[in-house]
Amino acid sequence: MSHRVCPWWVGYFLASPLRRLVHNPTTILRPFVSEGMTVVEPGPGMGFFTMELARLVGRPGRVVAIDVQPKMLMELRRRAGKARLLDRIDARQGPGDGMGLDDLKGQADFVLAFAVVHELPGIERFFAEVSTVLKPGRRLLLAEPHFQVSAREFAATLQIADQNGFLVDSRPAIQWTRSAVLVRV
Ligand SMILES: C[S@@+](CC[C@H](N)C(=O)[O-])C[C@H]1O[C@@H](n2cnc3c(N)ncnc32)[C@H](O)[C@@H]1O
**C-alpha 130 chain-centroid distance:** 11
Query: pLDDT tens-digit profile of 75-97?
Result: 999 999 999 999 999 999 999 99
The mean pLDDT value for 37-43 works out to 98
Please give the DSSP secondary-structure letter assigned to residue 150. -
Average pLDDT over residues 134-146: 98
Q: What is the pLDDT of residue 164?
A: 96
Q: Which helix (H) or strand (E) holds 27?
A: helix 25-29
Write down the pLDDT at residue 79.
Answer: 98
Ligand 1 atom showing the smallest separation from residue 19 Cα: 9
Secondary structure of residue 115 in the 3-state scheme: coil
Mutate to test the pocket of ligand 1, among 116, 142, 179 (most ligand atoms within 8 A of CB): 116
Q: 84-90, long-range: CB within 8 Å, 24+ apart, which pairs?
A: 85/51, 85/54, 85/55, 87/59, 88/54, 88/57, 88/58, 88/59, 88/61, 88/62, 88/63, 89/50, 89/54, 89/62, 89/63, 89/65, 90/62, 90/63, 90/64, 90/65
pLDDT confidence of residue 3 = 67
| 6 CA distance to ligand 1 middle (Å) | 7
For residue 1, the model assigns a pLDDT of: 60
Q: Which residue CA neighbors atom 17 of ligand 1 most closely? A: 68
Which amino acids bring their CB within 6 angstroms of ligand 1? 5-6, 11, 14, 42-45, 48, 66-69, 72, 94, 96, 114-116, 119-120
Helix or strand (DSSP H, E) at 89: strand 89-93
- Contact (Cβ atoms closer than 8 angstroms) between residue 26 and residue 178: no
* Ligand 1 centroid to residue 59 C-alpha, Å: 25
**What pLDDT, on the 0 to 100 scale, is given for residue 80?**
98
Q: What is the pTM of this model?
A: 0.97
The region of weakest confidence among 2-6, 143-147, 157-161, 172-176 is 2-6
- Whole-number pLDDT of residue 59: 97
Say which CATH topology domain 8-184 has. Answer: Rossmann fold (3.40.50)
Q: Give the strand pairing for 89-93 and 108-114.
A: unpaired
